[in-house]
Structure 1
């Protein structure tokens, strides 16, 4: 505990010490009005407003600030937004199944980071108007908006903890614009260099038509070595030999975007965007602490590749009394990967059946694909009078599919029997899901007076979810399912109709200060689990040996009700902008990924009830024309609010017990962000900009109770980044250091208990201890960048 306090003290001390140094360095303070805090315009409420006039807790970071902080993906973004929590598991795992946490809204245990999920994350993310969670490269970004707390009325399913919006630059009619940049860096422990190259071209084709092209290529060298890799022969059989490989976690990203803007008339505007990204990752960013520093104990390499395509068409029509916007978007997101399952298989009870299998090498092959079409049509009133309103229609058609195949190398030779499905294939799982959502939503704002407003919001939705799952266990055959393949399959269908509401009110104490209060609801859609289930009304056991309780065939929507009050505005003659809020959230039927009690099938399951409450503070202080400081802090208490017993077996007996008062997993109590920015002009007229950013995340547990399968404790973490940029005409030259103090603290642990067993029994020989991995961030990285603006 003392260690964690010292980390927090280190970050606060660094900010305090740096402040007077930078202040005294400014030898030529400017007039007061010249260095007020810059006001950022946002569209979170579906109309353009100053950030300070939005009557709830919202953060915004503009493109210039993103560039200065070196932010090109959400991993680093989370270190710059107070209260936005993320456990960085590296390019291979980030973006597969969410993991962003706001206001403590997380009940998911660790150990499911690699899993495809059919339910939504607890924080919704939007790329423009497209609701899609993917680790998309953040290039040519106008701003990022972070809306805290449930946002269900305007943003629909998945906005339990909040919503993040990435607003990209549209093609501009203002004139030709272009830049090209490249960065070269070296990470400690890495065997090679990192490169990051980007270009942007904006080209007006006429007075009413413009196009914009953006591209990026990133190549990061790996820094983790493996020295226990098992050699397989040409027939994929273990040879008994091992080999080593360095830098097993390098990654490559290719990104491109095409944008078109067409001003059809004074009343009609069209924006089109199409973007693609391809990721190639050689391995996971995890180490085995028992083996050594920056060393993995995997037996098989774990490559990962992903491709995402997103297209959107926004049409805006000025109708006079209101602006009508049609937003159409479609995306396809797919990935395939290989996993080393050797340690996790050998830890399970069924492994006693395979005892003696040479080398114990198990390779998992996984794929997933999601695609969707989204249409939103909304009207936003133009007149700012007594009433303002937003009303809209929303339709979403989503499809998902995943597959998993596990190969126990040498299995067929071990049993001296041919495999009826494929050589050494031990397990397959195919899952297909479809989801449709139709909704009507709206918000009405009543200006009681010039200083006091009240907003009422609602969303009415009708949803349908269908799921299919097919499992084979060919090694087990008729003993585990139907026929030689050991087949189990099932499908289910579920529909929901519901509504959520919002009330917000704010009062302007003066032109610079606002107080507000909000009651809002957020939700995630329910659905079905396509797993074999038993019909309790019949004497037979439908679904065979892996039949599960009928209640697990579907999962219900979870809903959060948020109570929040806060104050925001400016002080010290607009040199300081701040927001402070307190919140209390009731969360019902928490959705989590789980394994079914029989067969271990991946399912979504509803836990009980939780309460999160806390305090948030964010500030930006511009001391002089040249020096500014930002500081943010969040405190969150997130606990189970009622004893829970669930996840029943076939006899209806609960297999999962959680006590009232247990902390929600993955949620630190304290997070702190800070940044110092100082700029000056040298005697030779060179513009210099200096930046120091810091981030603190408190420790947390990865499961509810000590002794549970996935329980582990993750220590607190402090990370600093620094950069210096010099502007010479159209050139920008920069030096930067990421992870300045070379933090190697774990960002996530997968649980000790799991790997203290062998074949489901305590293992005094500790044969699987090296399977207990720790995810870490990239070590200290020093680099140089060059940018030319045409």
Structure 2
């Protein structure tokens, strides 16, 4: 294919490695994919960074379908697995940089940027994209602020799709059917990949598919309402509930990715891409534990209201590359829109945090919340990279992003108005006219402008030194409006007998903005001890922008002035040493690294102390340090393997507070397993029809905490677990058939949840998907 390896879609600082069995005079050896980590052709072993990659072939062999599966095959990723029901919050953790609790209770998108940036191709965007037709998945660990900007404190995760091929017409059709333990229905997955070259300069590629996942969680306790939609009184202090609802967490999604590659000349190329993803889930992938009806059943969740969610993502991008000979100019332009709508059962929250509703006003103070969000993003990036020299290599660039984000949420207590009006013994001083108890509209505008560059000096053939910097200016503003039609008299007694002067009762509007200009630096050096052994050292900074919370400090629900107004940027300084290379006639490769990260002013996405408004606050400094090991290789002529191990210790470096919640020096950061490991192996057995492939992969994560310490109401220790996937398949030149078992030992795999202290009888754990057994069939046309 004519499209050059130094394309914009392979952003500076990324690499890939694809291992396969290749024949040579000396026997099989590791086959290397040429990479462009410095925007010029290089072997992965020449790149002086700790960067991992999982090839598209490995992603397919492991049956990776979405984001939930990535942590099983990519080493060192800690992830709160919520299944397909991901509204837009990025819970990916690399190198232990996470301060957020692992509760996932609120579907409202987080205010702060994530600690790990995620890219689809060359576009910075997080979504639960389908993993079909990927060239590779790249994992860049440690702060990547110089090249990837804000939100790359812990690292960067990149999904690189395959590009159109100019040389061949092809079609790749896949169909899959499977059953899941505890589920009554079957799951289906169909996809097609079509590549069509129109000429030796123009080609199109289309990827489309549909995936339907059977549910396995049963819902109990759902309200069986009366004709008005209100809870029905049983006459004994309880309300009538429906019978158990089977498989309430089923989901489906369809996706489309199209791209067109035009090679105008040997020096000019265009890549236009469009991607759409549509996800519809009926409920959470969660289980209520040790509470209520059927608490001994493994896959049962207690709910008052069903919790469906839908989301849509549209991504349009244009990559242009111009080769000037001495340097390559790359331009990436993208427009992305993400929309989501959800229903959330907040009854557990109202039972605990807002208990006064049930105590003073209404015995059946169940709560249902409806929300919607929209995130629009325009991104433009330019890079000019030298084509390589004996003495100096360099890259310079400019980045601009304009992001507009809105979220609306309304919470109702069905039957509240009718009950207060008919009950002469209620303590309410105000008679409400609506069951709406809270509504809010949040608007956020964020602009990021930056220039960046890196310069590499080759002191000798073995020794190089690289320095980099990023200079940026950021603007962040937020407006927040909330309505309180019914004000609890426990906190606010209106003088006039009403709750406000407008039609919605009392409304409070707040607006705050925050601007920052700053820079970060990077230093890297490496030395080739031998042709196949490299040692390196990196000192790099990463950062995440600050902002404004705009929570109310006046009116019926005021928060303390100065406690939640604005939040500062947090920064990470990474010091790392490592060694990488090949062994035993290049049949095995390894990477070993040790890192120490100082994290200043970590950001917490949390809720305000008194009235649970979404907000971000800074906590005390933290430190994360650890050890990483990766091995890949071939054993004999038919067996390949890969192994990854990560040890991470993340803790608070000093005493402090988040809002009014205490943190203690030496305490563990939430959601961080100390030990994580992944492995995979493939055995190839030639037969007359083609090749039989035996595959096994697995991963392990040690225990972790869901909150900073036991004084937090949503603190829980989640147990360690391991999971294994296996398959056996026959592959020929034109078709393949595979039998697979995911989660072979049927491990529960808890990764987060909400505790009884915070949610009472509606508490839950997020679970991994149970054992699934299925058949996959693939047919190729070339």
Matched, 1:122 2:134: no
- Matches of 1:162 and 1:280 in 2, distance apart? 30
Q: Deviations over 1:36-76 (max 9, x none)?
A: 12213333444443222110101111111111111122221
* 1:235 Cα deviation from its structure 2 partner: 2.5
Q: 2:528 aligns with which of 508, 511, 524?
A: 508
C-alpha contact (below 8 Å) 1:548/1:597 kept by paired residues: no
C-alpha contact (below 8 Å) 2:601/2:621 kept by paired residues: yes
1:471 matched residue in structure 2:
482
* 1:719 Cα deviation from its structure 2 partner: 0.3
5+ residue gaps, structure 2: 1-20, 233-238, 423-427
2:690 matched residue in structure 1:
686
Q: 2:173 aligns with which of 153, 176, 180?
A: 180
C-alpha contact (below 8 Å) 1:501/1:520 kept by paired residues: yes
C-alpha contact (below 8 Å) 1:525/1:556 kept by paired residues: yes
1:771 matched residue in structure 2:
762
1:5 matched residue in structure 2:
none
Q: 1:189 to 1:519 in 2, by over 3 A?
A: same
C-alpha contact (below 8 Å) 2:721/2:747 kept by paired residues: yes
1:250 matched residue in structure 2:
250
- Matches of 1:593 and 1:454 in 2, distance apart? 38
* 1:171 Cα deviation from its structure 2 partner: 1.3
Q: Secondary structure at the match of 2:73?
A: coil
1:78 matched residue in structure 2:
71
381-390 or 503-512, larger mean C-alpha shift? 381-390
* 1:728 Cα deviation from its structure 2 partner: 2.9
* 1:328 Cα deviation from its structure 2 partner: 0.3
2:774 matched residue in structure 1:
783
C-alpha contact (below 8 Å) 1:44/1:145 kept by paired residues: no
2:541 matched residue in structure 1:
521
41-50 or 182-191, larger mean C-alpha shift? 41-50
Q: Deviations over 1:341-387 (max 9, x none)?
A: 11221112543565462433211111111110000011000133200
1:286-297 map, 5 Å: 286-290=286-290, 291=295, 292-297=297-302
Higher helix share: 1
* 1:521 Cα deviation from its structure 2 partner: 0.6
- Matches of 2:161 and 2:493 in 1, distance apart? 55
Q: For this pair of structures, how many residues does the alignment match? A: 733
Matched, 1:574 2:595: no
C-alpha contact (below 8 Å) 1:337/1:366 kept by paired residues: yes
1:632 matched residue in structure 2:
644
1:590-609 map, 5 Å: 590-609=602-621
Q: Secondary structure at the match of 2:364?
A: helix
- Matches of 1:532 and 1:48 in 2, distance apart? 54
Matched, 1:313 2:289: no
Q: Secondary structure at the match of 2:755?
A: coil
1:4 matched residue in structure 2:
none
Q: 1:751 to 1:170 in 2, by over 3 A?
A: same
- Matches of 2:756 and 2:698 in 1, distance apart? 30
- Matches of 2:748 and 2:103 in 1, distance apart? 20
1:527-538 map, 5 Å: 527-533=547-553
1:13 matched residue in structure 2:
none
Matched, 1:552 2:564: yes
1:751 matched residue in structure 2:
755
C-alpha contact (below 8 Å) 1:614/1:637 kept by paired residues: yes
Q: Deviations over 1:196-238 (max 9, x none)?
A: 1010111011221111111010001101112321112343212
2:595 matched residue in structure 1:
583
Q: Deviations over 1:690-746 (max 9, x none)?
A: 110010001011111113211001000110000112013301101100000000132
- Matches of 1:690 and 1:367 in 2, distance apart? 45
Q: 2:102 aligns with which of 96, 110, 113?
A: 110
Q: Secondary structure at the match of 1:230?
A: coil
2:513 matched residue in structure 1:
493
- Matches of 2:287 and 2:361 in 1, distance apart? 27
- Matches of 2:304 and 2:563 in 1, distance apart? 39
- Matches of 1:118 and 1:356 in 2, distance apart? 33
- Matches of 1:518 and 1:186 in 2, distance apart? 47
435-444 or 206-215, larger mean C-alpha shift? 206-215
- Matches of 1:148 and 1:785 in 2, distance apart? 33
Q: 1:674 aligns with which of 679, 685, 693?
A: 679
Q: Secondary structure at the match of 2:669?
A: coil
2:261 matched residue in structure 1:
261
Q: 2:710 aligns with which of 703, 706, 725?
A: 706
229-238 or 582-591, larger mean C-alpha shift? 229-238
C-alpha contact (below 8 Å) 1:112/1:593 kept by paired residues: no
Q: TM (normalized to structure 1)?
A: 0.90
* 1:77 Cα deviation from its structure 2 partner: 1.2
C-alpha contact (below 8 Å) 1:734/1:786 kept by paired residues: yes
Q: Deviations over 1:61-115 (max 9, x none)?
A: 111111111112222111112211112122113x621111111000111224533
C-alpha contact (below 8 Å) 1:689/1:725 kept by paired residues: yes
392-401 or 361-370, larger mean C-alpha shift? 361-370
Matched, 1:225 2:229: no
Matched, 1:395 2:400: yes
C-alpha contact (below 8 Å) 1:40/1:62 kept by paired residues: no
C-alpha contact (below 8 Å) 2:78/2:93 kept by paired residues: yes
Q: TM (normalized to structure 2)?
A: 0.91
C-alpha contact (below 8 Å) 2:22/2:31 kept by paired residues: no
- Matches of 1:416 and 1:573 in 2, distance apart? 84
5+ residue gaps, structure 1: 1-27, 534-541, 648-654, 756-767
Q: Secondary structure at the match of 2:572?
A: strand
Q: 1:549 to 1:510 in 2, by over 3 A?
A: same
579-588 or 128-137, larger mean C-alpha shift? 128-137
Q: Secondary structure at the match of 2:103?
A: coil
